[in-house]
Structure 1
Protein backbone atom coordinates (compact mmCIF):
# COMPACT_ATOMS: atom_id res chain seq x y z
CA UNK A 1 0.00 0.00 0.00
CA UNK A 2 1.95 2.93 -1.28
CA UNK A 3 -0.66 5.65 -1.71
CA UNK A 4 -2.37 7.77 0.90
CA UNK A 5 -5.75 6.65 -0.40
CA UNK A 6 -4.81 2.98 0.01
CA UNK A 7 -3.49 3.53 3.53
CA UNK A 8 -6.65 5.37 4.52
CA UNK A 9 -8.84 2.61 3.14
CA UNK A 10 -6.83 0.02 5.04
CA UNK A 11 -7.00 2.02 8.27
CA UNK A 12 -10.77 2.36 8.10
CA UNK A 13 -11.15 -1.34 7.33
CA UNK A 14 -9.01 -2.26 10.32
CA UNK A 15 -11.00 0.07 12.58
CA UNK A 16 -14.25 -1.49 11.39
CA UNK A 17 -12.89 -4.99 12.02
CA UNK A 18 -11.71 -4.09 15.51
CA UNK A 19 -15.05 -2.47 16.35
CA UNK A 20 -16.85 -5.60 15.18
CA UNK A 21 -14.71 -7.68 17.55
CA UNK A 22 -15.51 -5.33 20.41
CA UNK A 23 -19.21 -5.07 19.62
CA UNK A 24 -19.01 -1.32 19.05
CA UNK A 25 -19.90 0.87 16.10
CA UNK A 26 -17.23 2.09 13.64
CA UNK A 27 -19.27 5.25 13.17
CA UNK A 28 -18.55 6.14 16.81
CA UNK A 29 -14.78 6.29 16.17
CA UNK A 30 -13.16 9.32 14.55
CA UNK A 31 -9.88 8.76 12.73
CA UNK A 32 -7.71 11.87 12.86
CA UNK A 33 -5.01 11.86 10.18
CA UNK A 34 -1.99 13.46 11.84
CA UNK A 35 -0.55 15.63 9.10
CA UNK A 36 2.19 17.49 11.00
CA UNK A 37 5.26 18.19 8.82
CA UNK A 38 3.42 16.84 5.75
CA UNK A 39 2.87 18.88 2.61
CA UNK A 40 -0.43 20.52 1.71
CA UNK A 41 -0.51 18.30 -1.36
CA UNK A 42 -0.51 15.20 0.86
CA UNK A 43 -3.37 16.56 2.94
CA UNK A 44 -5.30 17.39 -0.21
CA UNK A 45 -4.75 13.84 -1.44
CA UNK A 46 -6.22 12.50 1.80
CA UNK A 47 -9.11 14.96 1.57
CA UNK A 48 -9.88 13.86 -1.97
CA UNK A 49 -9.96 10.28 -0.67
CA UNK A 50 -12.69 11.22 1.80
CA UNK A 51 -10.70 12.16 4.91
CA UNK A 52 -11.93 15.29 6.66
CA UNK A 53 -10.24 15.36 10.08
CA UNK A 54 -6.56 16.34 10.31
CA UNK A 55 -4.28 16.78 13.31
CA UNK A 56 -1.48 19.32 13.65
CA UNK A 57 1.08 19.82 16.45
CA UNK A 58 2.41 23.31 15.67
CA UNK A 59 0.16 26.40 15.72
CA UNK A 60 1.86 28.24 12.87
CA UNK A 61 1.82 25.18 10.64
CA UNK A 62 -1.85 24.58 11.43
CA UNK A 63 -2.73 28.17 10.55
CA UNK A 64 -0.83 28.09 7.26
CA UNK A 65 -2.44 24.83 6.18
CA UNK A 66 -5.90 25.94 7.26
CA UNK A 67 -5.58 29.05 5.10
CA UNK A 68 -4.17 27.11 2.15
CA UNK A 69 -7.04 24.59 2.28
CA UNK A 70 -9.81 26.95 3.36
CA UNK A 71 -11.83 26.24 0.22
CA UNK A 72 -12.10 22.53 0.99
CA UNK A 73 -15.61 22.13 2.33
CA UNK A 74 -15.94 20.26 5.62
CA UNK A 75 -12.24 20.07 6.44
CA UNK A 76 -11.73 19.94 10.20
CA UNK A 77 -8.51 20.87 12.00
CA UNK A 78 -7.52 19.31 15.31
CA UNK A 79 -4.69 20.92 17.29
CA UNK A 80 -3.02 18.09 19.21
CA UNK A 81 0.34 19.50 20.36
CA UNK A 82 1.54 21.48 23.39
CA UNK A 83 0.18 25.01 23.36
CA UNK A 84 1.99 28.08 24.69
CA UNK A 85 0.26 31.31 25.66
CA UNK A 86 1.76 33.30 22.79
CA UNK A 87 0.35 30.86 20.21
CA UNK A 88 -3.24 30.53 21.42
CA UNK A 89 -4.64 33.05 18.93
CA UNK A 90 -3.59 30.90 15.96
CA UNK A 91 -5.42 27.89 17.39
CA UNK A 92 -8.46 29.94 18.42
CA UNK A 93 -8.80 31.34 14.90
CA UNK A 94 -8.07 28.26 12.79
CA UNK A 95 -8.80 25.03 14.69
CA UNK A 96 -12.11 23.29 15.24
CA UNK A 97 -10.71 21.12 18.05
CA UNK A 98 -7.96 21.54 20.63
CA UNK A 99 -6.98 18.23 22.24
CA UNK A 100 -4.18 19.44 24.50
CA UNK A 101 -5.75 21.83 26.98
CA UNK A 102 -4.10 21.51 30.39
CA UNK A 103 -4.27 24.96 32.03
CA UNK A 104 -7.05 27.38 32.84
CA UNK A 105 -4.86 30.26 31.59
CA UNK A 106 -4.70 28.70 28.12
CA UNK A 107 -8.42 27.97 28.17
CA UNK A 108 -9.19 31.59 29.09
CA UNK A 109 -7.03 32.90 26.25
CA UNK A 110 -8.66 30.55 23.74
CA UNK A 111 -12.08 31.64 24.97
CA UNK A 112 -11.26 35.34 24.62
CA UNK A 113 -9.61 34.93 21.22
CA UNK A 114 -12.21 32.70 19.55
CA UNK A 115 -13.80 34.77 16.74
CA UNK A 116 -17.46 35.49 17.40
CA UNK A 117 -18.49 34.36 13.92
CA UNK A 118 -17.12 30.86 14.52
CA UNK A 119 -18.82 28.15 16.55
CA UNK A 120 -17.30 27.38 19.95
CA UNK A 121 -13.87 25.76 19.90
CA UNK A 122 -14.22 22.12 20.93
CA UNK A 123 -11.68 21.27 23.59
CA UNK A 124 -10.34 18.20 25.35
CA UNK A 125 -8.37 18.15 28.58
CA UNK A 126 -5.00 16.44 28.22
CA UNK A 127 -4.28 14.07 31.10
CA UNK A 128 -0.75 12.99 32.04
CA UNK A 129 -2.05 9.53 32.79
CA UNK A 130 1.39 7.90 33.18
CA UNK A 131 2.82 10.61 35.41
CA UNK A 132 5.73 11.42 33.10
CA UNK A 133 7.72 14.46 34.20
CA UNK A 134 8.53 15.37 30.61
CA UNK A 135 4.98 15.17 29.29
CA UNK A 136 2.27 17.83 29.25
CA UNK A 137 -1.11 17.28 30.83
CA UNK A 138 -2.85 17.55 34.16
CA UNK A 139 -2.81 15.00 36.94
CA UNK A 140 -5.84 12.70 36.95
CA UNK A 141 -7.03 14.13 40.27
CA UNK A 142 -7.25 17.60 38.71
CA UNK A 143 -9.57 16.63 35.87
CA UNK A 144 -12.98 17.30 37.40
CA UNK A 145 -12.04 20.68 38.87
CA UNK A 146 -10.47 22.00 35.65
CA UNK A 147 -13.32 20.57 33.59
CA UNK A 148 -15.88 22.51 35.61
CA UNK A 149 -13.94 25.77 35.12
CA UNK A 150 -13.40 25.24 31.39
CA UNK A 151 -17.02 24.27 30.78
CA UNK A 152 -18.11 27.67 32.11
CA UNK A 153 -16.03 29.67 29.61
CA UNK A 154 -17.74 31.24 26.59
CA UNK A 155 -16.42 30.39 23.17
CA UNK A 156 -15.36 26.89 24.24
CA UNK A 157 -17.18 23.58 24.33
CA UNK A 158 -15.67 20.94 26.59
CA UNK A 159 -15.97 17.62 24.78
CA UNK A 160 -13.86 15.18 26.80
CA UNK A 161 -10.32 13.98 27.51
CA UNK A 162 -7.08 13.18 25.71
CA UNK A 163 -4.02 11.19 26.75
CA UNK A 164 -0.74 9.88 25.38
CA UNK A 165 0.26 7.01 27.70
CA UNK A 166 3.91 6.25 28.23
CA UNK A 167 5.45 3.60 25.95
CA UNK A 168 5.72 0.03 27.18
CA UNK A 169 9.26 0.61 28.44
CA UNK A 170 7.79 2.86 31.15
CA UNK A 171 4.74 0.79 31.98
CA UNK A 172 2.19 -1.28 30.04
CA UNK A 173 -0.22 0.98 28.21
CA UNK A 174 -3.30 -1.11 28.97
CA UNK A 175 -3.61 -0.01 32.64
CA UNK A 176 -3.23 3.61 31.50
CA UNK A 177 -6.02 3.19 28.95
CA UNK A 178 -8.19 1.57 31.63
CA UNK A 179 -7.60 4.52 33.99
CA UNK A 180 -8.52 6.94 31.22
CA UNK A 181 -11.75 5.08 30.61
CA UNK A 182 -12.68 5.42 34.28
CA UNK A 183 -11.79 9.12 34.26
CA UNK A 184 -13.94 9.62 31.20
CA UNK A 185 -16.89 7.94 32.86
CA UNK A 186 -16.44 10.08 35.98
CA UNK A 187 -16.35 13.24 33.85
CA UNK A 188 -19.44 12.24 31.90
CA UNK A 189 -21.31 11.74 35.17
CA UNK A 190 -21.09 15.48 35.84
CA UNK A 191 -20.79 16.78 32.24
CA UNK A 192 -22.65 14.34 29.95
CA UNK A 193 -21.62 16.18 26.79
CA UNK A 194 -17.92 15.55 27.53
CA UNK A 195 -17.97 12.02 26.12
CA UNK A 196 -15.02 12.08 23.72
CA UNK A 197 -11.86 10.15 24.58
CA UNK A 198 -8.88 10.86 22.33
CA UNK A 199 -6.22 8.18 22.78
CA UNK A 200 -4.49 5.60 20.66
CA UNK A 201 -1.94 6.02 17.90
CA UNK A 202 -0.40 3.82 15.21
CA UNK A 203 1.08 1.26 17.62
CA UNK A 204 -1.68 0.94 20.19
CA UNK A 205 -4.99 2.10 18.75
CA UNK A 206 -6.72 -1.33 18.85
CA UNK A 207 -6.13 -1.47 22.60
CA UNK A 208 -7.33 2.11 22.98
CA UNK A 209 -10.61 1.18 21.29
CA UNK A 210 -11.05 -1.63 23.81
CA UNK A 211 -11.06 1.01 26.54
CA UNK A 212 -13.51 3.39 24.95
CA UNK A 213 -11.45 5.63 22.68
CA UNK A 214 -13.68 7.66 20.37
CA UNK A 215 -10.80 9.40 18.55
CA UNK A 216 -7.59 7.79 17.36
CA UNK A 217 -4.66 9.69 15.90
CA UNK A 218 -2.81 8.05 12.99
CA UNK A 219 0.09 9.78 11.26
CA UNK A 220 2.78 7.54 9.82
CA UNK A 221 0.20 4.86 9.03
CA UNK A 222 -1.51 7.33 6.68
CA UNK A 223 1.19 9.67 5.40
CA UNK A 224 4.40 7.67 5.85
CA UNK A 225 7.51 8.79 7.71
CA UNK A 226 7.60 12.38 8.93
CA UNK A 227 10.07 15.13 8.18
CA UNK A 228 10.97 16.84 11.46
CA UNK A 229 13.07 19.63 9.98
CA UNK A 230 10.20 22.07 10.07
CA UNK A 231 8.32 22.93 13.22
CA UNK A 232 7.00 25.95 15.06
Structure 2
Protein backbone atom coordinates (compact mmCIF):
# COMPACT_ATOMS: atom_id res chain seq x y z
CA UNK A 1 0.00 0.00 0.00
CA UNK A 2 1.31 3.44 -0.92
CA UNK A 3 2.13 5.82 1.89
CA UNK A 4 0.74 9.33 2.09
CA UNK A 5 4.20 10.62 1.21
CA UNK A 6 4.25 8.42 -1.91
CA UNK A 7 0.81 9.70 -2.86
CA UNK A 8 1.86 13.33 -2.45
CA UNK A 9 4.82 12.74 -4.74
CA UNK A 10 2.56 11.04 -7.30
CA UNK A 11 -0.02 13.84 -7.28
CA UNK A 12 2.72 16.46 -7.42
CA UNK A 13 4.09 14.79 -10.56
CA UNK A 14 0.60 14.83 -12.08
CA UNK A 15 0.30 18.54 -11.33
CA UNK A 16 3.72 19.28 -12.79
CA UNK A 17 3.01 17.26 -15.94
CA UNK A 18 -0.39 18.92 -16.46
CA UNK A 19 1.07 22.38 -15.83
CA UNK A 20 3.75 21.81 -18.44
CA UNK A 21 1.23 20.39 -20.93
CA UNK A 22 -0.89 23.52 -20.50
CA UNK A 23 2.11 25.74 -21.26
CA UNK A 24 2.00 27.30 -17.81
CA UNK A 25 4.81 28.23 -15.46
CA UNK A 26 6.13 25.59 -13.09
CA UNK A 27 4.74 26.23 -9.62
CA UNK A 28 1.67 28.13 -10.85
CA UNK A 29 -0.64 25.39 -9.53
CA UNK A 30 -0.67 24.50 -5.84
CA UNK A 31 -1.88 21.40 -4.05
CA UNK A 32 -4.51 21.76 -1.33
CA UNK A 33 -4.73 18.54 0.68
CA UNK A 34 -8.39 17.94 1.51
CA UNK A 35 -8.07 16.50 4.98
CA UNK A 36 -11.68 16.40 6.17
CA UNK A 37 -12.44 13.26 8.21
CA UNK A 38 -8.73 12.39 8.36
CA UNK A 39 -7.01 11.98 11.73
CA UNK A 40 -4.27 14.39 12.77
CA UNK A 41 -1.69 11.64 12.28
CA UNK A 42 -2.43 11.60 8.55
CA UNK A 43 -1.92 15.34 8.32
CA UNK A 44 1.32 15.07 10.26
CA UNK A 45 2.56 12.45 7.80
CA UNK A 46 1.61 14.70 4.89
CA UNK A 47 3.39 17.59 6.58
CA UNK A 48 6.51 15.46 6.87
CA UNK A 49 6.34 14.96 3.10
CA UNK A 50 6.31 18.71 2.54
CA UNK A 51 2.59 19.49 2.41
CA UNK A 52 1.68 22.77 4.08
CA UNK A 53 -1.87 23.59 2.93
CA UNK A 54 -4.84 21.65 4.29
CA UNK A 55 -8.52 22.05 3.48
CA UNK A 56 -11.23 21.35 6.03
CA UNK A 57 -15.03 21.25 5.70
CA UNK A 58 -16.19 20.82 9.27
CA UNK A 59 -15.34 23.55 11.75
CA UNK A 60 -15.10 21.69 15.05
CA UNK A 61 -13.13 18.87 13.45
CA UNK A 62 -10.73 21.43 12.00
CA UNK A 63 -10.29 23.24 15.32
CA UNK A 64 -9.50 19.94 17.03
CA UNK A 65 -6.81 19.20 14.43
CA UNK A 66 -5.33 22.66 14.80
CA UNK A 67 -4.96 22.04 18.52
CA UNK A 68 -3.41 18.61 17.95
CA UNK A 69 -0.96 19.99 15.38
CA UNK A 70 -0.16 23.35 16.95
CA UNK A 71 3.54 22.46 16.99
CA UNK A 72 3.53 22.65 13.18
CA UNK A 73 3.88 26.38 12.95
CA UNK A 74 3.85 26.96 9.19
CA UNK A 75 0.60 25.23 8.19
CA UNK A 76 -1.98 27.21 6.22
CA UNK A 77 -5.56 26.17 6.96
CA UNK A 78 -8.24 26.54 4.29
CA UNK A 79 -11.95 26.37 5.08
CA UNK A 80 -13.67 24.82 2.06
CA UNK A 81 -17.11 23.78 3.34
CA UNK A 82 -20.48 25.52 3.58
CA UNK A 83 -20.46 28.35 6.11
CA UNK A 84 -23.17 28.89 8.70
CA UNK A 85 -23.50 32.49 9.83
CA UNK A 86 -23.09 31.54 13.48
CA UNK A 87 -19.75 29.86 12.77
CA UNK A 88 -17.96 32.79 11.12
CA UNK A 89 -16.03 34.01 14.16
CA UNK A 90 -13.85 30.89 14.68
CA UNK A 91 -13.30 30.70 10.93
CA UNK A 92 -12.16 34.33 10.85
CA UNK A 93 -9.90 33.75 13.85
CA UNK A 94 -8.22 30.50 12.81
CA UNK A 95 -7.99 30.13 9.04
CA UNK A 96 -5.76 31.73 6.43
CA UNK A 97 -8.06 31.00 3.47
CA UNK A 98 -11.79 30.57 2.94
CA UNK A 99 -12.82 29.11 -0.43
CA UNK A 100 -16.57 28.95 0.12
CA UNK A 101 -17.99 32.45 0.60
CA UNK A 102 -21.26 32.64 -1.33
CA UNK A 103 -23.19 35.54 0.21
CA UNK A 104 -22.52 39.04 1.45
CA UNK A 105 -23.75 38.42 5.01
CA UNK A 106 -21.07 35.79 5.60
CA UNK A 107 -18.38 37.98 4.06
CA UNK A 108 -19.27 40.94 6.26
CA UNK A 109 -19.18 38.81 9.39
CA UNK A 110 -15.80 37.34 8.45
CA UNK A 111 -14.38 40.81 7.94
CA UNK A 112 -15.85 42.19 11.18
CA UNK A 113 -14.61 39.22 13.19
CA UNK A 114 -11.10 38.94 11.71
CA UNK A 115 -8.66 39.84 14.53
CA UNK A 116 -6.74 43.06 13.95
CA UNK A 117 -3.36 41.42 14.52
CA UNK A 118 -3.89 38.99 11.63
CA UNK A 119 -3.45 39.79 7.94
CA UNK A 120 -6.54 40.00 5.75
CA UNK A 121 -8.33 36.69 5.27
CA UNK A 122 -7.86 35.30 1.76
CA UNK A 123 -11.28 34.79 0.16
CA UNK A 124 -12.54 32.81 -2.81
CA UNK A 125 -16.17 33.23 -3.82
CA UNK A 126 -17.93 29.94 -4.40
CA UNK A 127 -19.83 29.88 -7.69
CA UNK A 128 -22.52 27.37 -8.58
CA UNK A 129 -21.44 27.21 -12.22
CA UNK A 130 -23.85 24.41 -13.12
CA UNK A 131 -26.73 25.90 -11.09
CA UNK A 132 -27.33 22.62 -9.28
CA UNK A 133 -30.02 22.77 -6.60
CA UNK A 134 -27.93 20.62 -4.26
CA UNK A 135 -24.84 22.82 -4.41
CA UNK A 136 -23.90 25.92 -2.49
CA UNK A 137 -22.56 28.94 -4.31
CA UNK A 138 -23.77 32.15 -5.87
CA UNK A 139 -24.89 32.10 -9.47
CA UNK A 140 -22.93 33.78 -12.23
CA UNK A 141 -25.51 36.57 -12.56
CA UNK A 142 -25.06 37.68 -8.94
CA UNK A 143 -21.28 37.24 -8.86
CA UNK A 144 -20.23 40.80 -9.87
CA UNK A 145 -22.31 42.37 -7.10
CA UNK A 146 -20.99 39.95 -4.49
CA UNK A 147 -17.40 40.48 -5.62
CA UNK A 148 -17.83 44.25 -5.41
CA UNK A 149 -19.18 43.96 -1.86
CA UNK A 150 -16.37 41.67 -0.70
CA UNK A 151 -13.65 43.79 -2.29
CA UNK A 152 -14.70 46.73 -0.12
CA UNK A 153 -14.45 44.86 3.18
CA UNK A 154 -11.30 45.91 5.04
CA UNK A 155 -10.20 42.63 6.58
CA UNK A 156 -10.67 40.41 3.53
CA UNK A 157 -8.49 39.92 0.46
CA UNK A 158 -10.56 38.82 -2.52
CA UNK A 159 -8.32 36.33 -4.29
CA UNK A 160 -10.62 34.62 -6.78
CA UNK A 161 -13.27 31.98 -7.35
CA UNK A 162 -14.04 28.39 -6.39
CA UNK A 163 -16.43 25.87 -7.91
CA UNK A 164 -17.40 22.24 -7.42
CA UNK A 165 -18.72 21.05 -10.80
CA UNK A 166 -20.34 17.63 -10.95
CA UNK A 167 -17.34 15.28 -11.40
CA UNK A 168 -19.57 12.60 -12.95
CA UNK A 169 -20.71 14.66 -15.91
CA UNK A 170 -19.19 14.03 -19.35
CA UNK A 171 -15.70 15.45 -19.82
CA UNK A 172 -16.88 18.00 -22.35
CA UNK A 173 -19.44 19.36 -19.89
CA UNK A 174 -16.90 19.39 -17.07
CA UNK A 175 -14.48 21.35 -19.26
CA UNK A 176 -17.27 23.81 -20.00
CA UNK A 177 -17.85 24.28 -16.26
CA UNK A 178 -14.17 24.98 -15.65
CA UNK A 179 -14.09 27.39 -18.57
CA UNK A 180 -17.14 29.21 -17.19
CA UNK A 181 -15.38 29.80 -13.87
CA UNK A 182 -12.19 30.99 -15.58
CA UNK A 183 -14.23 33.36 -17.78
CA UNK A 184 -16.04 34.69 -14.72
CA UNK A 185 -12.74 35.50 -13.03
CA UNK A 186 -11.47 37.26 -16.13
CA UNK A 187 -14.67 39.31 -16.27
CA UNK A 188 -14.17 40.38 -12.65
CA UNK A 189 -10.64 41.50 -13.44
CA UNK A 190 -12.01 43.77 -16.17
CA UNK A 191 -14.46 45.48 -13.82
CA UNK A 192 -13.48 49.16 -13.32
CA UNK A 193 -13.76 48.81 -9.54
CA UNK A 194 -11.82 45.52 -9.37
CA UNK A 195 -9.76 45.21 -6.18
CA UNK A 196 -7.16 42.69 -5.06
CA UNK A 197 -4.97 40.38 -7.08
CA UNK A 198 -7.85 38.18 -8.34
CA UNK A 199 -5.24 35.53 -9.08
CA UNK A 200 -6.95 32.36 -7.86
CA UNK A 201 -9.08 29.62 -9.40
CA UNK A 202 -9.83 26.87 -6.89
CA UNK A 203 -11.07 23.99 -9.04
CA UNK A 204 -10.16 20.40 -9.79
CA UNK A 205 -10.05 17.28 -7.63
CA UNK A 206 -8.41 13.85 -7.67
CA UNK A 207 -10.13 12.64 -10.82
CA UNK A 208 -10.12 15.79 -12.92
CA UNK A 209 -7.16 17.89 -11.83
CA UNK A 210 -5.47 17.69 -15.25
CA UNK A 211 -8.54 19.09 -16.96
CA UNK A 212 -8.87 21.83 -14.36
CA UNK A 213 -5.22 22.82 -14.75
CA UNK A 214 -5.64 22.98 -18.53
CA UNK A 215 -8.45 25.49 -17.96
CA UNK A 216 -6.53 27.68 -15.51
CA UNK A 217 -6.81 26.23 -11.99
CA UNK A 218 -4.31 27.58 -9.47
CA UNK A 219 -5.42 25.41 -6.50
CA UNK A 220 -6.42 21.76 -6.95
CA UNK A 221 -8.27 20.30 -3.96
CA UNK A 222 -7.20 16.67 -3.59
CA UNK A 223 -8.23 14.23 -0.89
CA UNK A 224 -8.77 10.68 -2.15
CA UNK A 225 -5.58 10.52 -4.22
CA UNK A 226 -3.57 11.54 -1.14
CA UNK A 227 -5.29 9.80 1.75
CA UNK A 228 -7.37 7.05 0.14
CA UNK A 229 -11.13 6.70 -0.17
CA UNK A 230 -13.27 7.85 2.74
CA UNK A 231 -15.58 5.39 4.43
CA UNK A 232 -18.47 7.81 4.00
CA UNK A 233 -19.17 11.46 3.37
CA UNK A 234 -21.24 14.12 5.04
CA UNK A 235 -22.81 16.93 3.12
CA UNK A 236 -21.55 17.95 -0.30
CA UNK A 237 -17.97 17.45 -1.45
CA UNK A 238 -15.57 20.38 -1.70
CA UNK A 239 -12.61 18.39 -2.89
CA UNK A 240 -11.70 14.81 -3.39
TM-score by length of 2: 0.92
Report the alpha carbon displacement of residue 83 of structure 1 after superposing the two structures with TM: 0.5
Is 1:132 the equivalent of 2:132? yes
The answer to which of 216-225 and 167-176 deviates more is 167-176
Query: Residues 21-74 of structure 1: CA distance to partner in whole angstroms, max 9, x if unpaired?
Result: 111123111100000000001000000110000000011111121222222121
Unaligned runs of 5+ residues in structure 2 are 236-240
Is 1:154 the equivalent of 2:154? yes
Matches within 5 A, 1:65-76: 65-76=65-76
**Distance in 2 between the 1:112 and 1:31 partners?**
29
Unaligned runs of 5+ residues in structure 1 are none
Matches within 5 A, 1:73-222: 73-169=73-169, 172-190=173-191, 191=194, 193-222=197-226
**Distance in 1 between the 2:115 and 2:71 partners?**
19
**Distance in 1 between the 2:85 and 2:52 partners?**
28
RMSD across aligned positions (CA): 1.7
The verdict on how the C-alpha distance between 1:69 and 1:230 changes in structure 2, with shifts beyond 3 A counting, is farther
Report the alpha carbon displacement of residue 104 of structure 1 after superposing the two structures with TM: 0.5
Contact 1:60 1:90 in 2 (8 A): no
The verdict on how the C-alpha distance between 1:229 and 1:208 changes in structure 2, with shifts beyond 3 A counting, is closer
TM-score by length of 1: 0.95
Contact 1:15 1:26 in 2 (8 A): no
Size of the alignment, in residue pairs? 231
**Distance in 2 between the 1:63 and 1:115 partners?**
17
Is 1:38 the equivalent of 2:42? no
Report the alpha carbon displacement of residue 99 of structure 1 after superposing the two structures with TM: 0.2
**Distance in 2 between the 1:229 and 1:218 partners?**
15
